[in-house]
Structure 1
Amino acid sequence: MDLGLQGLNALVTGGTKGIGRAIAQTLAAEGTHVAICARNAGEVAQAVAELSGYGVKTFGRAVDVGDGPALKAWVKDAGDALGGVDIVVANVSALAIANDETGWQRGFEVDMMGTVRLVDAAMPRLERSPHAAIVTISSVSGREIDFAAGPYGAFKAAIVHYTQGLAHQLAPKHIRANTVSPGNTYFRGGVWDQIEQGNPALYAQALALNPTGRMGTPQEMANAVAFLASPAASFVTGSNLVVDGALTRGVQL
């Protein structure tokens, strides 16, 4: 199935590791020009070099998405470098689990406002695209109360609400907006790898909750994002695609 992504331009925040890296690679493999950002300049440079191997235009910069002016400047410069913006993927999370004021503030600035500012900065170019798509990354922690209740779960839930509002507001402009809510996703150096090493009891408990007997992979999450971002999903907007291996039990009506 041709997703129709070839020649489009995508911005992906947090594109050097885990789900974000897999999203950027999957889009590039489909022929999409890709711009990424992350906080570590060396990792950004390495990822950009690898993405360019797909024969697409690439752009990258070290950015903390909690820094509004820096994020806005990256969006402008990335759009200039690629020659436009058709797709934005808001992927970065502060992973704020601690239920204290610092955690709440960081989660708000990174997860919530990082998403809002990304979309706002990209909107003028999205409005000029015939295939404009916004994909936000939430989490199953935004659907159910789990160990991440507190800032992480609250802001992930808010991102779904915000994105579905965008879908309704932007539909007359033919700009689609959807969310992907990953379940537990394992990759080397990621949160669940760290938990497996540092808190094996919690890891075993989390693993036992999933009827598939395993956690998801970044590539499985990236596949969902690529579809929702693509012209193949031209009539899909306002959805929250849960990719969790039947982990969650709530019925999404």
Structure 2
Amino acid sequence: MDLQLSGTRVLVTGGTRGIGRAIVEAFLDEGATVGFCARNADAVSATQDALSQRGAVTGTVVDVGDGDAIAAWVDRSAASFGGLDTVVASVSALAIPDTEENWLASLNVDLMHTVRLVRAALPHLEQAPAPSIIAISSVSGRESDFASGPYGTAKTAIIGYINGLAMQLAEKGIRANTVSPGNTYFEGGVWASIESGDPDLYRTAVDLNPTGHMGTPQEVAAPVVFLASPVASRISGTNLVVDGALTRGVQV
């Protein structure tokens, strides 16, 4: 299937590792021009170097907790690319324990960075032929689990925010969706850390999944790219769960 993404212009927050990096790679493989950001300058540089042979990619050092920095990055990228077609908000503070600091971090990084990215991108998306907004939430935003609290609440809020955007922006032809991954394993990620630091929790998490294993970043990236594509032109306001049948609730 041709996803009709060749030549489209995409921004991805948190593109140096895990799901974010896999999303950058997947868009590049479809022929898109991709800009990504992250906080760590060395990681940004290394990622851009590693992916430069894969397609047109530009990495920028941005702290997504800084609204002015996000806005400046979006505007510079749109000017460089000649516009924007898709933005993907994929950064998370991964602030799980129930502390005051983690509540503030989750709301500022997970939720408000999504809001700021959308606000900055909207003037550019309104000029695009098939614009799309995608935010990465989590199954912890859909069902109560060990990550309920700062992390899970922020992820729930993201789903609600994006769903509202879908209705508000439909008349402008801008689609908005969320993707909610289940447990996703990659080296250097949170589950790799839990595997070594709390093996009982890791085994419990694996055993809960009917597939018997966790997902990969690539398995999350593929549906993100599909949702962003013109092929998915009738899909907006959806929370697409990518969890290998982990969650039990029925979406209605």
Range of TM-score over shorter length: over 0.9
Letter in 2 for 1:61: T
C-alpha distance in 1, partners of 2:142/2:124? 32
Counterpart position of 2:29: 29
C-alpha distance in 2, partners of 1:13/1:87? 12
Unpaired runs of 5+ residues, structure 2, are none
Counterpart position of 1:53: 53
3-state SS in 1 of match to 2:11 = strand
- Deviating more after overlay: 98-107 vs 177-186: 98-107
3-state SS in 2 of match to 1:178 = strand
Post-superposition CA distance 1:96-147 (Å, at most 9, x none): 1121111010111100110000000011000000110000000000011111
The two structures have a TM-score, normalised by structure 2, of 0.99
How far does residue 51 in structure 1 lie from its aligned partner after superposition?
2.7
How far does residue 80 in structure 1 lie from its aligned partner after superposition?
1.6
Counterpart position of 1:42: 42
Counterpart position of 1:236: 235
3-state SS in 2 of match to 1:60 = strand
Taking only aligned residues, the RMSD between alpha carbons, in angstroms, comes to 0.7
How far does residue 16 in structure 1 lie from its aligned partner after superposition?
0.3
Letter in 2 for 1:45: S
C-alpha distance in 2, partners of 1:202/1:55? 39
C-alpha distance in 1, partners of 2:235/2:49? 33
C-alpha distance in 2, partners of 1:86/1:245? 29
How far does residue 227 in structure 1 lie from its aligned partner after superposition?
0.3
Counterpart position of 1:207: 206
C-alpha distance in 2, partners of 1:242/1:85? 26
Following TM superposition, where does structure 1 have runs of at least 4 consecutive aligned residues deviating by more than 2 angstroms? 49-52
Structure 1 position 75 matched with structure 2 position 57: no
3-state SS in 2 of match to 1:109 = helix
The two structures have a TM-score, normalised by structure 1, of 0.98
C-alpha distance in 1, partners of 2:50/2:175? 29
* Equivalenced residues, count: 252
Unpaired runs of 5+ residues, structure 1, are none
Counterpart position of 1:151: 150
C-alpha distance in 2, partners of 1:109/1:78? 23
